[in-house]
Structure 1
Amino acid sequence: MEAKLLLVDEVRLTPILISDPPLLNVQGVHQPFTPRLVVEVVTRGGVVGLGETYGDGVYLETARSLAEALPGRPVTHVNSLFEPVTKAVAGAVAGAVSGAGAARPEAGAGVDASGLRGVRTAAKLRLSVVSAFETACLDALGKTLGLPVHALLGGKVRDEVEYSAYLFHRWAAHPGAGGPADDWGAALDPAGVVAQARRFARTYGFRSFKLKGGVLDPEREVAAIRALAEAFPGHPLRLDPNGAWSVATSLAVARALEDVLEYLEDPASGTAAMAEVAAGTGVPLATNMCVTTFEEIPEAFARGAVRIVLCDHHYWGGLHRTRELAALCRTYGVGLSMHSNTHLGISLAAMTQVAATLPGLTHASDTHYPWQTEDVVTPRPVFRDGRLPVSDAPGLGVELDRPALEALHRRWLDDDGRMRDRDDTAAMRAADPEWRPRRW
């Protein structure tokens, strides 16, 4: 094979808006539509690789700079992706971050609502953009060589990946007119949460359940977990309030649920608070907020703040760096799970490919995917018994549904700017102008 065929010839960026249900979290409520970005890396051999990440304006701006720098580079040189994006957009991204109020996480300002991953920083934004380009390069390389992405990462250790049902307190519909509708109904009490879980189990076969907390009074969320434990005895249960609780509240919840929780995810905000909670309970603490970069690992591990880290290739800068994180967790005896954002099939395929290569991934992975009614790949992935098979097809094993992509891009073009940046707090205030993020 001629090396020139592996050179990047073109990069296509397609921002889209996908419909999203009225799911509640500590920051507010999901908007009717949320932005995503589809990246296509086209080689000189005519092979197209796919990647996906957040689509908010600052991510799109960063991606454009990297897209301009990539043509002429080999798709194999994924380690060098960080250099052009860092040089090209450091100032612009830092300005956008500081404008978002990143210095005030205690007030909810500057929090990255797209993934609720803690305070937004320029470094985290760059990693999330690079992740989509790395995935697209690996997809193109795999398609060129006739190998699945997992083979490029060293080979799979499992033939299927287990996923967890992602439960939310939610409204029956978005406020006002014009938002997407569904038939799930409201889930604002334990009975509603259990009904939601039963539907997930019946439709997709999920056996593990995670509830997004930080929405209602902690006692009501404890009651919801207790109801789930009664309805699904012996099934792994998780609760994630996204750092909404004080240390005292976190410890009270841990005591109330210590006999049924698989783990408690980010009950309090920040490594110091998590370490204090961890010292006062035997319930394993997990995180996708206080440990989302390599720089945050030493303190968190040294202080015993977390026993499980939720990996996410969007956070960590791609599939290779996800494997690096997994190796560190294995070295320090820290467990590994997988975080999810409001993703489509490209990201789900990437998650499944890298998850297949991680021996230490002993917890079911999170996924929002069943909540998404639209996609840009065909055919849509199908969960059976709560699992997805690991594709051995070349690349990621998914094909782009170009008409669907174009339709969702048209929605983005037609938007008046209200939905191009995800803002759960603004969406909540559209329904209740006096609402503010709560801490218990």
Structure 2
Amino acid sequence: MNLTIADVRLTPVLVADPPLLNTQGVHQPYTPRLIVEVETADGITGVGETYGDTKYLELARPLAARLTGRRITDTNGLPAVADAVAVDASRVSGRVDVGGLRGVQTADKLRLSVVSAFEVACLDALGKALGLPVHALLGGKVRDAVEYSAYLFYRWAAHPDGVACEQDDWGAAVDPAGVVEQARRFTERYGFTSFKLKGGVFPPDEEIAAVRALAEAFPGHPLRLDPNGAWSVPTALRVADELADVLEYLEDPVLGTPAMAEVAARTGVPLATNMCVTTFDEIKEAFTAGAVQVVLSDHHYWGGLRATRRLAAVCHAFGVGVSMHSNTHLGISLAAMTHVASTVPGLHHACDTHYPWQSEDVLTERPAFDGGKVTVPDLPGLGVELDRDRLRSLHRRWLDDDGALRDRDDAAAMRVADPGWAAPSVPRW
């Protein structure tokens, strides 16, 4: 068995994205993703997926060139290979990562997000070579299905007039009634039993009303609210007080660990984050200050599936809960999320996923939700197969783009509808 990497293929794609609103603006009609394929000398191919913005692609290309001749088992060496690749400082210096709303960008965060796709592809190829599912390579699953939460968004019925894009049948949701109707459709279509609302879009009182409407429509179901750091400490405390009886947790109500710690010290509502704890270096300050009670892991952020398991172990040692953050991902990432989530014993909260919002994919068969859960695949590797015709089609869309959509920019998308829009300063309220 020859496990040497003979070829690495990178395919950037543009996939349809609905007009979902957040505090920075609105999703563009198409979003970039990067599909990574690692092929061994024996012809076994593994796949991975990550962000497809230009800054990630510019790092992925030289990294891919350095992997030929290495073994797919050498996943521990991937970060060192990535560290040897220079990152254009102008791409990351002090900017906030809009695509993931994960706080300030750094070169290390960028590298980890790229490494994650290569690690997943190597694990997929190794699993196929050995006839084992990825979860077995991670130590084995402790659950047969992974629960996910309905990810609710304020949204428009369609992208602004004049924008050519894919349409869907979800309709608008810009008030409490629209949010509740969206939740009902999620439940009918996918069986979700917990709900997360992306906040920071409307004044807090309107979002409090939406959560209250959800609590009335779905009594006893776990509810979360995530304004992406758009509130001040006083506003966060007021919202926490008014929703204390219905929230499972409040996610990133304020920006930064000190502000999160101040809110956490003055409310009994657990605080979750995918913004102030996104690297191991950020753990000490947040955990010793009691700033967060739930860390929302993301294998794209942390550098892969094995790093996600290390994060879960650290959280367990500190008595901090763990769940999973989601970005605008396709089925490869959903499969990877499901495999690693199945191996984490203390996963007591349903994971986030954008996947039901994505009408397009590069797989021959979409992963399915049953009762809000995804069954953990036992097929070799990730248990997914690329649809090469679809991959070529979505890559062709990327090639045909003039560059306007190759980098996610929610504020630019909002300016199509409102030319005067500027991403608001934080705190917004």
TM-score tier by shorter-chain length is: over 0.9
2:9 and 2:24 map into 1 onto residues whose CA distance is 32
> 1:423 matched to which residue of 2?
409
Superposed displacement of residue 176, structure 1: 2.3
2:389 and 2:362 map into 1 onto residues whose CA distance is 8
1:222 and 1:435 map into 2 onto residues whose CA distance is 24
TM (normalized to structure 2)?
0.98
Equivalent residue in structure 1 for 2:185, among 199, 222, 232:
199
What do the CA deviations read for 1:82-141 (whole angstroms, capped 9, x no partner)?
112111224x2x23213xxx2xxxxxxx22122111111111110000000000000000
The answer as to 2:362 corresponding to 1:376 is yes
What do the CA deviations read for 1:197-224 (whole angstroms, capped 9, x no partner)?
0000011000000000000000000000
Equivalent residue in structure 2 for 1:96, among 83, 88, 91:
91
Give the letter for the 1:306 counterpart. Answer: V
> 2:76 matched to which residue of 1?
79
Within-5 A mapping of 1:263-412: 263-412=249-398
1:437 and 1:271 map into 2 onto residues whose CA distance is 22
Contact 1:65 1:89 in 2 (8 A): no
> 1:158 matched to which residue of 2?
143
The answer as to 2:163 corresponding to 1:168 is no
Equivalent residue in structure 2 for 1:18, among 15, 26, 36:
15
Equivalent residue in structure 2 for 1:262, among 231, 248, 258:
248
Partner SS for 1:378: coil
1:360 and 1:435 map into 2 onto residues whose CA distance is 42
Give the letter for the 2:65 counterpart. Answer: E
> 1:231 matched to which residue of 2?
217
1:363 and 1:293 map into 2 onto residues whose CA distance is 21
Percent identity, aligned pairs only?
71
Partner SS for 1:377: coil
The answer as to 2:127 corresponding to 1:142 is yes
Equivalent residue in structure 2 for 1:66, among 63, 66, 69:
63
1:270 and 1:290 map into 2 onto residues whose CA distance is 6
Equivalent residue in structure 2 for 1:126, among 111, 119, 137:
111
Give the letter for the 1:185 counterpart. Answer: G
2:85 and 2:183 map into 1 onto residues whose CA distance is 45
Partner SS for 1:242: coil
Could you list the runs of 5+ residues in structure 1 that have no partner in the other structure?
103-109
What's the Cα RMSD here? Answer: 0.7
TM (normalized to structure 1)?
0.96
Partner SS for 2:84: helix
What do the CA deviations read for 1:119-173 (whole angstroms, capped 9, x no partner)?
1111111000000000000000000000000000000000000000000000111
Number of matched residues?
425
